Structure 1
């Protein structure tokens, strides 16, 4: 399928797997606060224990090695190292929690000891609560504090870690966290405020890239993870292909946050999005604003700060929209869907990824892709997830088409390695290659784990 240099990995995020939410000096994050408020999470569940990866990381990484997994993408919990989020005091002195830093040192070292390449994500949604109390991503100063954090992490880990991503899915942070309240911090803000969150996240990314490159102990590779609507054509005719491309990057009121265009255009192309004629200018508060630059939070020079050279674009993709020259194709009744109700659309892995490369001209990692199932332990004590194997076969077959068409796809990271806390949906949806019994914390590799392991071995031969 792919050549021997293609990287096969798996992914996780700190809040979803670590647990140990008050141990060893860790501070409170917005997800600690949000998930412990009744009514925010399905069944009033939380990530307080999650998969107990904090205590079981060696077991998990050893299991990765046994399955031939080549790379592990994980995120760092900001509050484990800086409990209140602040990196430097007023005199410029750095104060950090040694136990938290030791934990991530141990993860990195354990990966390397097992021949697994560590990929660090600096921020996967768990903002320190103390920073949120001071405005969170609505506060421009948070971007500069994030840059302090990025600088510290890079300086400490870049002797061993080459790949460091800044931010995971700014679209979800702004949309589910600050617009519709489904995610922490649970806010429901107006259009201008939500755009300011996106803007400050883009600023944080650019500042972080600059600061990391200045202190790295070896040349690092950096980028971020993006998600949003992507489309694929209903046929191979040029008209459908062009229509799907155009729809993939269209900004409308219905996808104001769930699109690649706004964040990626600012950070990768150095241009502000056109909010006139897109539908956004009709949103409350934007009626009299003619251009993005007229928004109240935009400062002179911001575009230059955001637009820094990066080495890769991470794409998190689970589904897409089928499009013809006449518009979106309505899904047929009974079309396949995941346990979260998401449509199964492998075509997005071919054309959607092609469109992203055409627009941004950056090497690509698929940083997340996978299937939510309602997996169970069968009577034989095993977990038979044939649906996941079928899903991955279809999606990777289409990804291979983009790869063979010349898109520089560097690697694929399955989401996720273990089942985990799936944000506002709690523990019901299972994305993992490895089943987790949350009462005993027993790990059981599913059939898909062995299938994925065989795929990796075959690809390396």
Structure 2
């Protein structure tokens, strides 16, 4: 069980769980279009064991029992994502009625169980037809995404508690276009520079479209890391500063201040879209809240490769099954930093969790959540306006390039039978929340 209690967080604090469409839904035979993750995962060498999300957790059919798990766990909210290709198979144009019907059922099912729907428009499953046109490298995506946002607002907006435009734009842009680890798998600085700007420009156009169609309580979800230097050497400190700029300050500064860090714009140079500065007013549209996903810290040192501005090294703290250091203090430090340096709008921890080895008796995960919940309390005590916490993830699921090899769920999934079995971490949340929403 946890050492913290629900009442420690005060009235109105939201506890929830999070998932993403491609990672759990399956259900690809309802008229849904292809996504970049369908092609990326079916290309040999990209994903562990050649795993794909074609079936995943079959949430498309099993959503009632999954929502029952959320309700029975005592959670207030469910952070889920819409699948763009399920709603608009080609990314633009014709709408898939079966996709609309699915999300109608899902959202109505949440409301019937007293669960607040926290929606994300984009959690990485770009329609393949738009990738054919350049995807996030093409400035036109800002218009495509705005049209998609307008559709979501029109069809579902009156039933959503909150809507985020994009999940983890660093992953959408840098991880996927510079490091090549996620779809579409580019390793190209020009592709990355364009995606880094267009993803935030599209966020701004989507905010405008959502608001124009009556949607309320709008935000974005950033993945942030606590950046630290490998040593006090000036070269390592400079590497840390650059790493922090690429990972954190590009997105925080762009969205909340309308400014990109100069050290990154200098590094990217002419690879950035021409006259990108003219878009910054749209990039920095006012938000109602900011979501922060946190998993670990980044330790930086001077690069031994002249083509890269920094290198990351592994630290000596205890690690999750992903090899990520367990560092709860980093969460409280980041929440306080964002509150002090960037914005006073409400903050939500929209993802936090750990991959653990197979097994339902997961004491390390219970301890992990307990320590990070205490980190949230510490940040609140230091003045950060943190309004909610969402555990990643409700279910073991498709973990992107890791396939089904890593398990983040507080509920175990047998992928052969689709049997769900609550783990000790689920029971710990259940005991704390005790269905007293």
The question of a shared fold, defined as TM-score above 0.5 by the shorter chain, is answered with yes
Post-superposition offset of 1:295 = 3.9
For residues 68 and 199 of structure 2, what CA distance do their matches in structure 1 show?
A: 35
Distance change in 2, residues 1:319/1:263 (3 Å): same
Q: Give yes or no for contact 1:72–1:118 (8 Å, CA) kept in 2.
A: yes
Q: Which one of 321, 325, 331 corresponds to residue 349 of structure 1?
A: 331
Note if contact 1:230-1:348 (Cα within 8 Å) is conserved in structure 2.
Answer: yes
Provide, for residues 248-267 of structure 1, a one-character-per-residue CA deviation record: whole Å limited to 9, x for no partner.
Answer: 99652x5664x121122112
> Does residue 1:20 correspond to 2:27, yes or no?
yes
Query: What's the Cα RMSD here?
Result: 2.6
Structure 2: gaps of 5 or more residues: 1-7, 301-310
Q: Displacement of 1:310 after TM fit?
A: 0.3
CA contact (8 A) 2:79 2:118 kept: yes
Q: Which of residues 316, 322, 328 in structure 2 aligns to 1:340?
A: 322
Q: How many residues align?
A: 415
Matched with 1:306 is 283
Pairing 1:226–2:233 present: no
Counterpart contact for 2:315–2:325, Cα < 8 Å: no
Output the CA distance in 1 between the equivalents of 2:37 and 2:335: 31
Q: Deviations over 1:137-166 (max 9, x none)?
A: 000001110000001101211221130000
**Counterpart Cα distance in 2 of 1:165 and 1:249:** 31
Look up the match of 1:260: 248
Secondary structure of 2:183's aligned partner: coil
Per the alignment, residue 91 of structure 1 pairs with none
Task: Tell me the CA shift for residue 396 of structure 1.
Answer: 1.1
The residue number in structure 2 matching 1:390 is: 367
What whole-Å deviation, never above 9, does each CA across 1:188-219 have from its counterpart, x for those lacking one? 112x3312101101110111111111111xx6
Partner of 2:296: 319
Mapping 1:195-274, distance limit 5 Å: 195-216=193-214, 220-231=216-227, 251-252=241-242, 254=243, 257=246, 259-274=247-262
* Contact 2:240–2:299 (8 Å) recurs in 1: no
Does 2:354 correspond to 1:371? yes
Matched, 1:188 2:187: yes
The 3-state SS of whatever aligns with 2:163 is strand
Counterpart-to-counterpart distance in 2, 1:48 and 1:215: 33
State the shift of 1:299 in Å: 4.2
Tell me the alpha carbon deviations over residues 358-395 of structure 1, each in whole angstroms, 9 at most, x when there is no partner.
1221210100000100122xxxxxx1000100111111
Aligned pairs (5 A) from 1:86-235: 86-87=92-93, 95-190=94-189, 192-216=190-214, 220-231=216-227
SS at structure 2 position matched to 1:165: strand
**Which runs of 5 or more structure 1 residues have no equivalent in the other structure?**
88-94, 235-239, 377-382
Q: Tell me the distance in 2 between the aligned counterparts of 1:416 and 1:317.
A: 13
The TM-score with structure 1 as length reference comes to 0.85
Which of the residues 64, 81, 86 maps onto 2:87? 81
The residue aligned with 2:303 is: none
Matched position secondary structure for 1:352:
helix
The offset of 1:401, in angstroms, is 0.6
CA distance in 1, matches of 2:312, 2:201: 36
Partner Cα distance (1:103, 1:262) in 2: 36
Q: 1:450 aligned to 2:432?
A: no
Equivalent residue for 1:8?
15
